[in-house]
Structure 1
Amino acid sequence: MIEIHNIHKSFGDAPILKGVTCTFETGKCNLVLGGSGTGKSVLLKCIVGLLKPDIGSITFDGTVFTNNKIEIRQEIRKQIGMLFQASALFDSMNVFENVEFPLRMLTPDMSRAERRDRVEFCLKRVGLEAAGNKMPSELSGGMKKRVGIARAIAPNCTYLFCDEPNSGLDPLTSIKIDELIYEITHEYNITTVIITHDMNSVVEIGDHIVYLHKGQKLWDGTKDEILNAQVPELKEFIFSSSLVRAAKRIEMEGGSLEEIRQEPSKDI
């Protein structure tokens, strides 16, 4: 569990985060939802330690991260896996070497054979067991995301952060990446935090959702609750998606999630 309390962050005279408080639960896909410029990425950078909050605290499973000793912060960072928006694979390394990289950096006592076994396990888990010798330039966008996920979970991460994991992907591939993140989160009981503006992801995998607007948390809840949220800014945001409009219509008719997936283009 990750607990965020009263986080403020400004750049110069421009306030970006204005007292954000929320909890990200273990074993769930926690989505930070909002439009561009709402502070989602700044919040993520504060949580993982790339930025220091001006005010507030961040706690990982009861251990304070903010302003703690550097040794404690480093131990927490070793438990963090990160899936970057553009995958951020090393062009000069093949797939196997990319996935092995965090093991070489974070687990120096692991033998070469142990690293090989771990990399092969992670590649098999994301469906790329035959792609170890391929270079990033030979991969599709979806394959690069899968390699990024394999690299993130290779060190047995406790916390997984995903920055716009569906960015640049076609709708079908986006759903497959969502499903993979969801499966890994629940299978390994990871605390997963996903930065997104994609309402399709909310409908598919939103165990817990935090909605940010202009640097403030205006709502949090589950994917089952979001369609009935009474926050005007959130209602305007979510019903811009045809899939969510279809979800609301089918919900009102007493339908199922499977019907929502099959009828994404119909309006309420």
Structure 2
Amino acid sequence: MIEIHNIQKSFNGKKVLDGIDGVFESGKMNMLLGASGTGKSVLLKCIVGLVKPDVGSITYDGRIFTNNKLDIKQEIRRKIGMLFQGSALFDSMNVNENIDFPLKMLTDMTRAERRERVEFCLKRVGLEQAGKLMPSELSGGMKKRVGIARAIAPHCTYLFCDEPNSGLDPLTAIKIDELIKEITEEYDITTIVVTHDMNSVLEYGDNVMFLYQGKKLWEGHSSEIMDTKVRELNDFIFSNRLMRDAKKVEQIEEEEQREEDQRQEEEKNRNK
């Protein structure tokens, strides 16, 4: 579990994050939702330690991360896996070498142990035959899978995903979402996903935090998000015709259900 309290960050006098609080639970898909420029990626960078917040605290399973000793911060960082927006694979390394890289850097595994771990991670993401391929030989979806394998290779406890569906076709995007969800639950990982993809949010968002102009305006389960009264969130959700049509259908179904309930109640009273 990761907890953040009163996170504030400014750049050149402009406030990008304005007092963000939140709890990200293990074994769940925690999603940071919002339009471009709302502070999602900056908040993610603050949580992983790439950017230092001006104010606020961050704790990993009760251990303070902000302003702690370097050795404590390094110990926590060894448990962090990162799936970058563009996968960020090393072009000069094949798939096996890409996944092996964090194992060499962050663990004391022997070469045989690392090889076994690489094979396991590749099999877990469904790419057991791709170890010798170069990144240039991979499709966009395969690159994402290799990125996930590399992120979980050092037995990560915390997984951060920055726009994991960026640049993917809808079917591949769903498969990547499903894979991240499965791994999160299987290994009880605290997963935080930065996204603006409403399909991902509605299908997999166990806990969704909506950011707008550096503030947290709403937080809750994806099942509640369609009924929010937050104007800015509604504007974001129903910005396209498909989502507006879905909302109309939901409202019609609810009205029909109310009418049916009322009819049954009236009939019950007549029969008394």
TM-score (norm 1): 0.92
Structure 1 residue aligned with 2:258: none
The residue number in structure 1 matching 2:206 is 207
1:61 alignment counterpart: 61
Q: 1:87 to 1:19 in 2, by over 3 A?
A: same
Measure, in 2, the Cα distance between the counterparts of 1:247 and 1:30.
24
Q: Deviations over 1:214-260 (max 9, x none)?
A: 00000000110001111000001011245544553554427xxxxxx
- Give the fraction of aligned pairs with identical amino acids, expressed as a percent: 72
Report the 3-state secondary structure (helix = DSSP H, G, I; strand = E; otherwise coil) of the residue aligned with 1:156. coil
Return the index of the structure with the highest Cα Rg: 2
Query: Corresponding residue for 1:10?
Result: 10
Q: Distance in 2 between matches of 1:245 and 1:79?
A: 41
After superposition, the C-alpha distances for 1:158-195 in whole angstroms (9 at most, x for unaligned) are 00000000111111111111111011101111000000
**Residues 246 and 147 of structure 1: is their aligned pair in 2 closer, same or farther, counting only changes over 3 Å?**
farther
Rounded Cα–Cα distance in structure 2 between residues aligned with 1:143 and 1:175: 13
Q: Work out the CA distance in 2 between the residues paired with 1:170 and 1:182.
A: 18
Per-residue deviation, 1:203: 1.3
Q: How does 1:1-268 map to 2 (within 5 A)?
A: 1-107=1-107, 109-242=108-241, 244-245=243-244, 247-249=246-248, 251-252=250-251, 253=253
Note the C-alpha offset of 1:9: 0.2
5+ long unaligned stretches in structure 2 = 255-272
Report if the CA contact (8 A) 1:164-1:194 is conserved: yes
Consecutive unaligned residues in structure 1, runs of 5 or more: 255-268
Aligned position for 1:266: none
Matches of 1:91 and 1:178, distance apart in 2: 25
* Distance in 1 between residues matched to 2:144 and 2:173, nearest whole Å: 10
Matched residue SS, 1:220 = strand
Deviation at 1:130, TM superposition (A): 0.3
Superposed CA offset, 1:87-114 (max 9, x none)? 000000000100111000000x211111
Structure with greater helix share of residues: 2
Aligned-partner Cα distance in 2 for 1:231–1:184: 32
Q: Distance in 1 between matches of 2:244 and 2:76?
A: 40
Please give the TM-score of this superposition, normalised by the length of structure 2.
0.91
Give 1:118 shift.
Answer: 0.6
Q: Give the residue type in structure 2 aligned to 1:104.
A: K
Number of equivalent positions: 253
CA distance in 2, matches of 1:241, 1:160: 30
Aligned partner of 1:258 in structure 2 is none
Give the AA of the match of 1:133: K
